[in-house]
Structure formats: structure tokens, C-alpha cells
Chain A
Amino acid sequence: MAVKLMGGMLEMADIVLAKIQITINLMPFLMQGLLMTFKVSILAILFGSLLGFVLGVVRTLGYRPLTAIIGIYLHIFRGTPYLVQLYIIYFVFPSFGVGFLNFDSFTAAIVSLSLYTSSYVTEITTAAIYAIPRGQEEAARSCGMSKAEALIYVVLPQSLKMMIPPMASIYVVIIKSTAILSIIGISELTRQGEVAILRMPGDIMFVYGLIATMYFIYCYPVLRFAKWAEGAFGSIGSVQDQES
């Protein structure tokens, strides 16, 4: 009886040791993947935010044709799956024969993910600008500020604060979207994991578990920050309108 128990415990210890061994062996390989995931998501959130912010601001200026064009842009990028966008940019664009559209996989990944990100950021920016009571701009203009000055000195500083929580949430969405990039051969975390599984098919569950944990370690601080920021800066939905 006792011997049997001992045997069982030894077996357990063996399994745990084996898993630790796998983890140690795979870590450098998976870390490379995480690094790529980090790189792609940072670049996408950077370019996507810049583009989305500009589009979001332009959309509120009231130039009809521009507003309409941005509206179509948003419909395209928010109304289709990211996977399809990625396919089109990576597989279809090169067939146009236009030199600069002949993206390598990394560029295609950054371009598509940035455009996708920008569609979210545009919406956030617009909402955050409209969330500022009209009276703020009117007061600024009554002091003699131009439309642009009112925007820069009065409206946007207040909007930017409100954008922080939703932006953090979008960042997490983008991090998770990078997993799709494995299909065009970007060696990000999911792709590295799949390669690892090919090498050790017996440990599928464990390897995916590792990958999930690594995504979680990257996303969790961002999510916590989003939650904190919501408390500190308020969310766009709950902003009180002075104008009743």
C-alpha cells in the first residue's frame, strides 16, 4: 500500500519534472514569439492610434465629404473580419502589380493591423470629442480662440483623458488579434507555439496552456490599467453633460 503510494508520488514528480523540462526547453523559442507579438502589437497600436486620432478629429470638423469618406472607411474596417482584411492586404494587393503594395508578411501584418486598430481609435476619438459639452468650445470661442485653438487648448485635453480607458481595452483586443498573423507566417507567439507542438505532439494541452499564460501575462497589466484609468479618468459613457 505504502509502496504503491510512494510509487504514485514518484510518478507525479516525474511528470512535473518533465513539464518543467519542456517549459525550460521551449521558453527561449516561445519568448521569441512573445517578443514578436509585442513588437507587432506595439507598432500597430502606435500607427493605428495616430491614424485613428487624426481621422476621429477630422470627422468632427463638419466637412461633409471628409466625414462621408471616413464613414465608409469605418464601415469597411469594422464591418469585415480582420482575417479577411489581412488576406486581402497580403494576398490580393500584390496582384495589382503596384510596387509598394507588394508587402512582405511583416509589413502586411503591421499595415493591416494598424488600419484595423485605427477604425476603433477613430470611433473612440469621435466619441470623446462629442462627450465634451458644447459650452466648452463656445466659451473658448467667445474668448476669441479660433476653432483650431478651441480644439487644441480646450476640447482635446479633456477628450484625451477620457480616451485612456477605452484605448487600453483596444490595446488588449489588438494583442489578441496578433494571433491571427500566424497564418501569414509571422513568428509570433501562437505560431511559435504551433511549431513547438509539431515537435512534441504529445503535449498539445500543456503547450497551449503555456501560450495562454504568456498572453495573459502581457494583457493582464494592460487590463488592470484600463480598470484603474476608468476610475481615475471616467469612461466616455458616464461623462456628465454640464448643459443638462
Chain B
Amino acid sequence: MKDPIIRIENVSKQFGTLKALDGVTNQIQRGEVVVIIGPSGSGKSTLLRTLNGLETVSEGNVYIDGVNIVDTRVNINKLRSKVGMVFQHFNLFRHKTALDNIIMPQTVVLNRKRKEAEDVARKLLEKVGIPEKAGNYPDQLSGGQQQRVAIARSLAMHPKIMLFDEATSALDPETVGGVLQLMKDLATEGMTMVVVTHEMGFAREVADRVIFMDGGQILEEATPDEFFDRPKNSRTITFLSQIL
């Protein structure tokens, strides 16, 4: 019953002389939750960013829902709206209120009417638990609240895939849990998710599969239990011993 929504084929990414990704091949199934872990500079962010075209690849192919986004003839803007991304630093539009952050991309990209977009936005603010913050600007929100708005903004585009790049790394410890819970709920609803995180508890509990990267390569992948309890690769073992 394989139904890959993401197919990464032999992808390499060169920054000058540095090989940030080195022949990465992987498939992610519809509804699967994949957690990527690995040391700093191992290429996790770069891999994630190639999945929504923020980073072009030097070699290889990336298929999203059957479309090769490396193919320059494909208009990847529309496609990109199907791949939501949540950033470590939230990146809310600083000149827009929380509500308008969620409305604006809908009206610009999906040509929704403002009224319709606002209904969607208010429902999503409700869903992420901060309906009362609709009128606040980003600098009037806590980190956790900003990240909730950012997640709502992505969800408003009805993405098929959500990418999370250390979504909780910049948050105060007491707000991390709420955002993780939100991500957990999304997973439960069947969203396909690729999550870069240092939250091993989340990985163990929510992931269907854990991928370990180092030096731009995938060195090991396994179910969370397998991965954490019986890691095979020596570098995985070293890494896990450092962080656990």
C-alpha cells in the first residue's frame, strides 16, 4: 500500500565547494510523519527547503505528488502553496496583524475573497488556540503565539504536506509543549509531515519514521523504537549519546 507523496531521488546540493546534500534518496508516504534529526550543519534544513523549492538542487529530482519540481518548466509557485513550511523564527509578516497574516496569502495566491479568507483565518486561529489575538501584530505576540499564527497561516493554504524546521527551538520551554501538541494534532488528522526537531520525545511518540542525517547524507532510518533503542550506525549512536 505504498503511495509516496514525496520522492527524493539522488539529490545533491552544492554551496560553492561545500556539499550540503550528498546523494539523498528517500520516499515519504501520504499521511506519514517523518522526523529528521542530525548534528548542526548536516543538511536537515537544506533538505527541507528543497522540498518546497526554496532551495534549488544541484543534482537529482524531487517529486511532489508526482510532479518533478526540479523541472524548470513546472510553475512551482502554485505547487509550493501545497507544501506549507513553518520556520524556527516564525517569519510572520511584520506589517500585518495575526489575522491579516493568515488572510493575505489566501487572497493573493488562492484568489479567495476577503470575506471567505477571513472566515478561514478565524476558524484557524480558533484551532490553534488564540482567537483573541486576531488583531495583534507579530511584535505584540509571544514566540509561542507567533508560531501558532504561522502554523495557521500555512494551514490556510490547505497544504498536502507540512514542513517544520525546528519549529520549537526558539520558544521558551513553557510554550514548547503547546506547539508540539498542535503538531501532534495535525499528525493525528493525517497530515503528511516532515519535521526537523531536537525534541526526541516528540520523535518517539509521533513519528512513523526517524531519519538521521550527517554530512549531507541519510545515514540511518527506522521506526522510532528501532531507532532509539537499537541504533545501528556508529555516528547515530554517538549523536544519540550526546543528546539523550
Interface of A with B (CB < 8 Å)?
133, 135-136, 138-146, 149, 153-154, 157-158, 161, 242-244
Q: Could you give 16 example pairs across A and B, Cβ below 8 Å? A: A135-B87, A135-B91, A138-B54, A138-B87, A142-B85, A143-B109, A143-B153, A143-B157, A144-B80, A144-B105, A144-B109, A153-B104, A154-B95, A157-B95, A242-B91, A242-B94
B interface residues, how many (CB within 8 angstroms): 28
Q: Which residue of B lies closest to A139 (CB)?
A: B91
Which residues of B are found within 8 Å of A242, using beta-carbon distances? 89, 91, 94
Q: Does B18 contact A (CB under 8 A)?
A: no
Which residues of A are found within 8 Å of B87, using beta-carbon distances? 135, 138-139
Which residues of B are found within 8 Å of A149, using beta-carbon distances? 108-109
| CA A157 to CA B84, docked complex, whole Å | 23
Q: Which residue of A lies closest to B78 (CB)?
A: A144
Q: Is B91 in contact with A145, judged by CB distance below 8 angstroms?
A: no
Q: Is A140 in contact with B93, judged by CB distance below 8 angstroms?
A: yes
| CA A141 to CA B157, docked complex, whole Å | 12
Which residues of B are found within 8 Å of A138, using beta-carbon distances? 54, 85, 87, 91
Which residues of B are found within 8 Å of A157, using beta-carbon distances? 95
Q: Does B10 contact A (CB under 8 A)?
A: no
Q: Does B147 contact A (CB under 8 A)?
A: no
In the complex, chain B residues 65-105 whose Cβ is within 8 Å of any chain A Cβ: 77-85, 87, 89, 91-95, 104-105
A139, A142, A243, A244: which contacts B92 (Cβ < 8 A)? A139
| CA A149 to CA B92, docked complex, whole Å | 16
Count chain A CB atoms within 10 A of each CB in B78, B83, B85, B95 and give the residue with the most.
B95
Q: Is A153 in contact with B89, judged by CB distance below 8 angstroms?
A: no
Q: Is A136 in contact with B94, judged by CB distance below 8 angstroms?
A: yes
Q: Is A139 in contact with B157, judged by CB distance below 8 angstroms?
A: no
Q: Is B91 in contact with A143, judged by CB distance below 8 angstroms?
A: no
Q: Does B145 contact A (CB under 8 A)?
A: no
Q: Does B197 contact A (CB under 8 A)?
A: no
Which residues of A are found within 8 Å of B79, using beta-carbon distances? 144
Which residues of B are found within 8 Å of A133, using beta-carbon distances? 91
Q: Is B109 in contact with A141, judged by CB distance below 8 angstroms?
A: no
Q: Which residue of A lies closest to B77 (CB)?
A: A146
Which residues of A are found within 8 Å of B104, using beta-carbon distances? 153
Q: Does B61 contact A (CB under 8 A)?
A: no
Which residues of B are found within 8 Å of A140, using beta-carbon distances? 93, 105
| CA A144 to CA B109, docked complex, whole Å | 6
In the complex, chain B residues 140-186 whose Cβ is within 8 Å of any chain A Cβ: 150, 153-154, 157
Q: Does B50 contact A (CB under 8 A)?
A: no
The 5 closest A-B pairs by CB, nearest first: A144-B81, A143-B105, A139-B91, A135-B91, A142-B85
Whole-angstrom distance between the Cβ of B40 and the nearest chain A Cβ: 15
Given contacts A149-B109, A158-B94, A161-B95, contact A142 B89 (CB under 8 A): no
Q: Is A142 in contact with B154, judged by CB distance below 8 angstroms?
A: yes
Given contacts A153-B108, A158-B94, A161-B95, contact A143 B154 (CB under 8 A): yes
Which residues of A are found within 8 Å of B94, using beta-carbon distances? 136, 158, 242
| CA A146 to CA B94, docked complex, whole Å | 19
Which residues of A are found within 8 Å of B54, using beta-carbon distances? 138, 141-142
Which residues of A are found within 8 Å of B110, using beta-carbon distances? 144
Count chain B CB atoms within 10 A of each CB in A136, A139, A149, A244 and give the residue with the most.
A139
Beyond the given A139-B93, A139-B150, A145-B77, could you list 16 further A-B residue pairs with CB under 8 A, ordered by the A residue number? A133-B91, A135-B87, A135-B89, A136-B93, A136-B94, A138-B85, A139-B85, A139-B91, A139-B92, A142-B80, A144-B80, A144-B82, A144-B110, A154-B93, A154-B95, A244-B89
Whole-angstrom distance between the Cβ of A239 and the nearest chain B Cβ: 10
A145, A158, A161: which contacts B105 (Cβ < 8 A)? A145
Which residues of A are found within 8 Å of B105, using beta-carbon distances? 140, 143-145
Which residues of B are found within 8 Å of A136, using beta-carbon distances? 91, 93-94
Whole-angstrom distance between the Cβ of A139 and the nearest chain B Cβ: 4
Interface string of B193-225 (1 = CB under 8 A from A): 000000000000000000000000000000000
Q: Which residue of B lies closest to A137 (CB)?
A: B91
| CA A157 to CA B95, docked complex, whole Å | 8
